Structure 1
C-alpha cells in the first residue's frame, strides 16, 4: 500500500518506521535542513519498539497519489500542511494524528472529498534529531471519527494500522479526544519549567497545579455535555468523580499516570517543541480548554495562566523555577 506521512517529527518518524516494516511503500514530507539528513541516512527508531530502521522516500511536499495519508504535524501547522498538499490529498483517506479537538474537522473542511479520521496515540516519543527518534513509552493508539459507533471505514483502517502498532477502533471518538485532552494537561508545566513530566508530578506543589488544570478540563467537558471516552483506564465515570473529588484526592490521577510512564524521562511534546526552537501547540491544548470554557460559561483561570506562561517562555527562551511559577498563581 502507498502511504504518505506528512511530518517527520517524533510521531511521524515513528509511524514511518513501523509502517515500512509491514512492507508499505512509505513517503514522508520533511522540511528544511532535516530533508537532506533523512535522504542520506533514513529514519532510525530506538526505545520502546526496539531498534528499527527505514528508508522511506523523503520529499518536501507530496508529488503523487496515495492509498492513505497520515497527518502528523503539530496542531498549529496542520492547516498549512494539508492545504499545501490538498491537490493530491483531496479524495484520499486521511488519518489525523494530533492533540487537541480540531484536527479531524480541519482536515474535513480542507479535503471535502476525503474520508477523514482521527488517531489518538498514547505513544511517547522523543525527537533526537532528523531521522532519529527514541520511543520512551510504547502504547496503544485509538482510531475513530464522530461521536457514534466505530464504522466499517474505521475498522478497515484500524486493521492496517494494527498490523504495524497496537491500534483500537473506538466508539465516541470525540469523547476520546476530550479524555486525551485531559492527559495532555501534562504538557504545559514541563514546557514552563524545563522539568520532565515525572519531575513535575513528583513536585507536590506543581502536582497540585497540574491536578487543578485537569479538573478544569473535565468540568468544561461536562458542562459541554461531552461523554468522555475510555482511554488508559480513564472513563467518563472516573473523570466525573475526579472533577468532584477534593484536590488532595484528585492528585491520585497524575500519580497513577507517572507510574505508567516508567523511569525514562518524558519531556512531553510541548517542551520538545521549545527545545527545537519551534512554536508550541499550547493554544490547541490548554488553549482549547479556554475556548470551550468560554463557550460553556465555565471559568478556567489555571489553564488561562498556564497558556500565558508557555507563551512567555516561547518569547523569552527562559524557563521558570517552580517557586516562580507558583508565585504567579497567588
Structure 2
C-alpha cells in the first residue's frame, strides 16, 4: 500500500518504520528539522519491534507526495491545526485518514478538512517514544491499533490497511463500534491524566487516595459520551475503574508527563474538548472545567 505518515515521533516513526520495512511505500511528512535528520541519518526502531531504514522517503511539503491509499495522522492533538493544510494534497477519492490522537475530538477536526467519508477514527494502545530524531523505541507488548470508517462500515482500503498492520506484527482487530472504543479509552486517559497532573501522583495513588474524585471524573466523560449517542455499556464507569485497578502502580499518561515536565501538551484536545462538548450538549462537567482552568496556567508557561 501507499502510505503518508504525518509526523515521525513515537507513533509516526514506529508505524511508518515498520510498514516501510515490511515493503510498503511510506512517505513521511514532517517539519524541516526532522526532515534533515531523516534524510541524513535514516530511521531506527528498537525494542520489542526492530527496523532500520537507511533511506527514508520524507518531505516537508505533502504536495510532492500526491494521493495515497492511507494517511496516518500521528502528531499530537495540539498540532492538528499546524498540519491541516498538508492533508488535502494527500487525499484522493478512495483515501482513508487514520486519526491517532488521544481524546475524542480529532476525528471531527480532521473531517472538517477532508470530509467524514475519508476519516477513520483510530485508537492506539501501544507504548513507543522518540528518543531522538529518527530514533524510536518500543516498550512492552505489541499493543493494538483499532480503526473503522465513520459509520463502522468496512471497505476494501480499510481491510487492506488492517492487513498491512497485521503483516508487520501489529494486531489491528476490527472493532464492533469504533466510537465506543474511542470513548472507552478517553474515560481512562483523560481523568487519570488530569488528576495525575494536578496531584503529581501515578495511577496507584490516584485509585486509592483520590478514588472518589477519579470515579466522578470518569462519570463526567461517560455522561458526555451518552449525550453524544455513543452506545457505551451500562457499567462503563465500573469497567473503567476495574481497568484502573489492573494497571501497574507507577503508570502515568503522556498528558500528565508533558504537563509535569513543562512541555506543550494535549491539554486542550483532551480536557478542553470535554469542557466544550459539555457546553454544546448541556452536560455538566464541573471537575473537567476546574482542572482545565488550573492546568491551562501551567500549559501557558510551557508554551511561553
TM-score with structure 2 setting the length = 0.83
1:32-88 superposed Cα distances (whole Å, 9 cap, x missing partner): 4333222222222233x3333234222222212233221111123224313134234
Within 2, Cα distance between the matches of 1:51 and 1:121?
Answer: 19
Contact kept in structure 2, 1:90 and 1:112, CA below 8 Å: no
Cα RMSD after superposing both structures? 2.9
Tell me which protein shows more strand as a share of its residues: 2
Unpaired runs of at least 5, structure 1: 229-235, 243-249, 318-330
Unpaired runs of at least 5, structure 2: none
Within 2, Cα distance between the matches of 1:39 and 1:275?
Answer: 33
1:223-253 superposed Cα distances (whole Å, 9 cap, x missing partner): 333212xxxxxxx2430555xxxxxxx7544
Mark the CA change 1:147 to 1:37 in structure 2 (over 3 Å): closer, same or farther: same
Aligned residue number for residue 135 of structure 1:
138
Asked whether 1:279 is paired with 2:259, we answer no
Contact kept in structure 1, 2:46 and 2:136, CA below 8 Å: yes
User: What SS is found at the alignment partner of 1:120?
Assistant: strand
Aligned residue number for residue 174 of structure 1:
179
1:167-200 superposed Cα distances (whole Å, 9 cap, x missing partner): 01223222222112112223324444555xxx23
Aligned residue number for residue 104 of structure 1:
107
User: Aligned runs of 1:280-299 on 2, under 5 Å?
Assistant: 280-299=265-284
TM-score with structure 1 setting the length = 0.77
Aligned residue number for residue 74 of structure 1:
76
- Partner residue of 1:125 out of 128, 138, 143: 128
More displaced stretch, 134-143 vs 149-158 = 149-158
Report the CA distance between 1:94 and its aligned residue.
Answer: 2.1
Mark the CA change 1:140 to 1:268 in structure 2 (over 3 Å): closer, same or farther: same
Report the CA distance between 1:142 and its aligned residue.
Answer: 0.5
Contact kept in structure 1, 2:17 and 2:52, CA below 8 Å: yes
Within 1, Cα distance between the matches of 2:297 and 2:126?
Answer: 28
- Partner residue of 1:227 out of 224, 227, 231: 231
Aligned residue number for residue 238 of structure 1:
235
Asked whether 1:156 is paired with 2:160, we answer yes
Aligned residue number for residue 253 of structure 2:
268
Mark the CA change 1:279 to 1:211 in structure 2 (over 3 Å): closer, same or farther: same
Within 1, Cα distance between the matches of 2:289 and 2:57?
Answer: 41
Contact kept in structure 2, 1:124 and 1:268, CA below 8 Å: no
